[in-house]
A and B are shown apart, each in its own frame.
Chain A
Amino acid sequence: MIVQSINFKHTNVIGNAITAVDFFNSWAIDEIVLLDVSRTKEYHEEFLRVVKELSKRCFVPLTAGGWVESVEDIRNLLLNGADKVAINTRAFEQPSFIEEAATIFGNQCIVISIDAKRRADGEYEVYIDRGRKATGTLVEVWAEAVEQLKAGEILLTSIDHDGGRKGYDLNLIKKVTSTVTIPVIAFGGVGKWQDLVEGITVGGAEAVAAANIFHYMEHSTKLAKEYLVEQGIDTRKPFFYVLNAPRKPEYKVRGY
C-alpha cells in the first residue's frame, strides 16, 4: 500500500505499489525508492515480498529501506531485488554500522536517510524513528559524520515540508549540500515542477525526489521530466517504453 504522508503522519492510502511502479517505468522515472514506513517492524516479511515483486518489473535502480537494523536486513533486501538500501535510525544509534555496511556491500549500495525539522532558532535538528524522536543533533553535523563513515548517498527529508506541496525546504537542502561531497537526494514538499528545478539550482541537490505529486497524477513523471529539460536541467529525456509483461493473476473477462 502506498501511503500519502503529511508531516510524517499517515493519511490517505493511495493504492497498490505494483501499479505505481508500472506507471513510473513507462514514464521514464530514473530511480525508485521504496520505504517501509510501518509504525512497527511486524510487517517486514510482507515488505520483503513486495520488494521482490516490484523488482521483477523495475528496470531502474531500486532503493529499499525502513526498519533496516542489521547486516542481515541489508542482505535480505538486496537478495529480494533492491540495488541500494536506505538506513536511518539504526545508522544514527550506531554509526559504525554505516562503515560496516559500506565495507561489506560497497558504498554505492548504502544510502543514509536523514529526516530533519526546523528548530525555533532556525537550525535544523535530526529526528529518528519515523520522525518520532528528536536527537538534539544538528543536521550538518550528522551529514558530515555520515560521509566520513563512507555512506554512498544521503536521502534528505524535510519533516516540516512533507506533504505540504509548498516546495522543498531549500535552506535545509543547502545546509547539507554545502557540507558534504557525496550525492544528496532532496525529498519532502514538492507541489509543482518548478520545485524540482529549485531543489537542484537553489538547493544544490544532485537528485530530486517526490512522492505525492507523482502518485496523484498520471503521466506525472513524464511531465516533470519535460519541464526539467525545458528549464535547462541536465536530465534524461522521457522515453515511453511499453513493457509487455502481463501481471499475474491474469483476469479473464467473461462473455466477450
Chain B
Amino acid sequence: MIAIIDYGMGNLQSIRNAFEVLGAEVFVTNDPNDLERATAIILPGVGAFRDGMRNLREKGFIPILQEQIIEQKKPYLGICLGMQFLAKRSHEHGLYEGLGWIDGEVTLIKPEKGGYKVPHVGWNEVQFKRKCSLFNDLGEKETFYFVHSYSLVPTIDEQNIVLGTTWHGTEIVASIQKGNIFGVQFHPEKSQGAGLKILENFLQLVRQQGQDQDKK
C-alpha cells in the first residue's frame, strides 16, 4: 500500500486518481503513524515552502519521515513542493529549513534571457542526464507539465543526483534521485502519457523492492 501524505497543501485528488487508474493500492493520510504500514511514500504539494514545512512539522511528520525513509529506506517520491522539501533550506519569502536530505537550496528561478516568465508554467522538455528506472521506456527526453516559481539547486558535490533538467531561460533541475529518494519538479499526474509512465515505473520499483525484501 502506497501512502500519499495529506498535509493541507494542494489537491491530492489528481495524484490519487493517477495511481488508482494504474491499479495501485493507495491511501491518503494526514496521520504520521499510518506511514508504518506504507510500502512507499508520496509527498505531493503546491504552495509555499514555509507553510508546507510548518504543516508537516505541526502534524508530526518529520521524525517519522526520517525513520521511514532514511533509516528504513522506503521508496519516496516528492512531487513539486515535495521535491523542494528535500533541500537544506529554501529562500522563498524568507529563509526556511527543509528536510535536509539533499545538499542544496531552493531558490527563485532567474531566467537569464528575456521572454521567459516566472512562474514557470506549462509544458517543457526534460533532458535525461543519466539512466534511471523511473524513466524506463521514455527515451532521452520527454515533455512534462510544470508550475512553479522556485526550484531545488543541488550543490556541486551533489550533482550526480540530477536525473533530468529543463530549460526556462536558465537550467532547472527537473528530477533527482538519491538512493531510495526520488523527486520530480513537474507534475506527473498532469503530464498525461509520459507522467503516468513515470508513476507506473515508480510502482514497478516499489513492487521490485517488496519482492527483494521478501526473499531476504
Contact = CB atoms under 8 A, between A and B. Distances in A.
Contacts of B121: 108, 152, 183
Interface in A53-95: 55-57, 59-61, 78-79, 81, 83
A81 B14 contact: yes
A30 B193 contact: no
A241 B11 CA distance: 24
Nearest to B125: A236
A243 B145 contact: no
Interface residues of A, number: 26
B196 interface: yes
Given A25-B192, A245-B21, A59 B123 contact: no
Determine the interface band of chain B, counting residues with CB < 8 A from chain A.
20 to 34
B99 interface: no
Interface of A: 25, 28, 30, 55-57, 59-61, 78-79, 81, 83, 106, 108, 152, 181, 183, 236-237, 239-241, 243-245
Contacts of B21: 56-57, 243-245
- The residue among A30, A59, A106, A108 with the most chain B CB atoms within 10 A of its own CB is A59
Contacts of B13: 55, 81
Interface of A is mostly: loop
Contact of A56 (B11, B17, B190): B17
Nearest to B197: A241
B60 interface: no
B189 interface: yes
A241 B14 contact: no
B8 interface: no
A55 B143 CA distance: 21
Contacts of A244: 21
A181 B14 contact: no
Given A59-B14, A61-B145, A83-B11, A240 B193 contact: yes
A172 B21 CA distance: 41
A237 B141 CA distance: 12
B18 interface: yes
Interface in B55-73: none
A108 B47 CA distance: 11
Nearest to A81: B13
Contacts of A25: 192
B147 A108 contact: yes
**Shortest beta-carbon contacts, A-B, top 3:** A241-B193, A236-B143, A245-B21
